[in-house]
Structure 1
Amino acid sequence: MVLFATDDQGRLVDTSTAYVMTEVEKAELEQKLVDTGVVRPNVVGTRMGLLKSSAVVPRHRGQGIGLRMVIERLARLQRLGCAAAVVLAWDSGGRHSSLGVLEAAGFQRVAELPEYWREPEGAETFDCVKCEGPCECTAIVIRRSLYDFTPEETVAELSHTR
């Protein structure tokens, strides 16, 4: 799924994506988690959603748009029958890293996958702003159960903590 958020004038302020993981994707993730020492990661055999990218236009950051988009994606994944959602987060080290938003939405850290975004030898690479060359960053795996997720309660809880 691809979601868009707009401002009062209809201008785009956020684009966010998510989808239900395939069995192959879940098996690959579970193996990577086991390889890092996670005991019983419980990925295979669970209908699992994956939150992918989310980008808030810089001048609209810090207004709760990213968090609302996380909650909306979780609600839609839950309606699609997902029992949990996972994110392979990239910690940019910047003020607007997604980690704080995701943790505010109830995600918990599971593991770190070193050099997760490193491309195989000979593959096309992209320059990472953090690595200042080909990306060799660590992925931070975070997960949230959707069994206890209610979008309305989550929004209400968060509005009291601001």
Structure 2
Amino acid sequence: MKPTNHLSHIIQSDISYESLAPEFFAGVIALGNHVHGDNYLTNELLADYYAKSFVGNTNASWVALYKQKVVGFRLTFAHTQWEADEWCSPSLWPVDPNTVCYFKCNTVDPAMQGCGIGSRLLSKSIECAQTQGAEAGLAHIWLASPGNSAFKYFTKNGGQLIKKHPNKWRYASIHEGYDCPVCEGYCECEGAEMLLQFQAP
């Protein structure tokens, strides 16, 4: 259930945003696995993602807190900290691939959706990614989200569809213990490769 406008206003005023740090790992893992399925995040994975968030002292990953609880997070790899894999199509990107950061994950507590948390996290990550030297961000959007909300959200914020990839998370479900919340057995969900070009700061 989304909050009423009145409740949304109260909640927004009480939400704080912090750069991702180890003291938030437990909350991020719990929320990520609750929303996306068991073993979507682990301590080992999150520690790796955290390291990839940095260029110098600038961290592109953020969390949202409400009453000291993690209610949202965006994990973003700096443009120098990741490499395109078989699920990426650099030849189709309208920018230099070396200037593209990677939006690994955006998650908001279902009870807090509709409060603008996702958009605020995105804007903060973009600001930091631009400071790091990125000109655009790539994401693989889960097309099985309820009402295809993830695709609609990223499109609304300027994301451009590059290519659709069947079975994007099948390997993780077979070899990494990922338990997809919508597929029985191994994950067969389709992922949308999308690119968001940043506006000049």
- Quote how far apart the aligned CAs of 1:40 are: 3.8
Report if aligned partners of 1:117, 1:136 keep a CA contact under 8 Å in 2: yes
Report if aligned partners of 2:65, 2:71 keep a CA contact under 8 Å in 1: yes
The letter for the 2-side match of 1:53 is: C
In the other structure, the counterpart of 2:125 is: 73
In the other structure, the counterpart of 1:109 is: 161
In the other structure, the counterpart of 1:100 is: 152
Q: Which has the higher helix share?
A: 2
Secondary structure of the residue aligned to 2:146 is coil
- Quote how far apart the aligned CAs of 1:10 are: 3.1
Alignment CA distance shift 1:63-1:122 (3 Å): closer
Q: TM-score, normalised by structure 1?
A: 0.73
Aligned ranges for residues 3-152 of structure 1 at < 5 Å? Answer: 3-7=62-66, 9-22=67-80, 25-26=83-84, 28-29=85-86, 32-33=88-89, 40-41=92-93, 45-95=97-147, 97-119=149-171, 123-146=175-198, 148-150=199-201
The letter for the 2-side match of 1:16 is: R
Q: TM-score, normalised by structure 2?
A: 0.60
The letter for the 1-side match of 2:65 is: T
- Quote how far apart the aligned CAs of 1:90 are: 0.9
For residues 6 and 100 of structure 1, the distance between their equivalents in structure 2, rounded to whole angstroms, comes to: 24
- Quote how far apart the aligned CAs of 1:22 are: 4.9
For residues 48 and 10 of structure 1, the distance between their equivalents in structure 2, rounded to whole angstroms, comes to: 32
The letter for the 2-side match of 1:20 is: A
Could you tell me which runs of 5 or more consecutive residues in structure 1 were left unpaired when the two chains were aligned. Answer: 151-162
The letter for the 1-side match of 2:130 is: Q
Alignment CA distance shift 1:25-1:59 (3 Å): same
Could you tell me which runs of 5 or more consecutive residues in structure 2 were left unpaired when the two chains were aligned. Answer: 1-52, 54-60
- Quote how far apart the aligned CAs of 1:4 are: 1.1
For residues 46 and 40 of structure 1, the distance between their equivalents in structure 2, rounded to whole angstroms, comes to: 13
The letter for the 1-side match of 2:170 is: R
Report if aligned partners of 2:77, 2:103 keep a CA contact under 8 Å in 1: yes
Q: Per-residue displacement from partner, 1:36-63 (whole Å, max 9, x unpaired)? A: xxx6435764311101112211211111
Secondary structure of the residue aligned to 1:75 is helix
Report if aligned partners of 2:101, 2:136 keep a CA contact under 8 Å in 1: yes
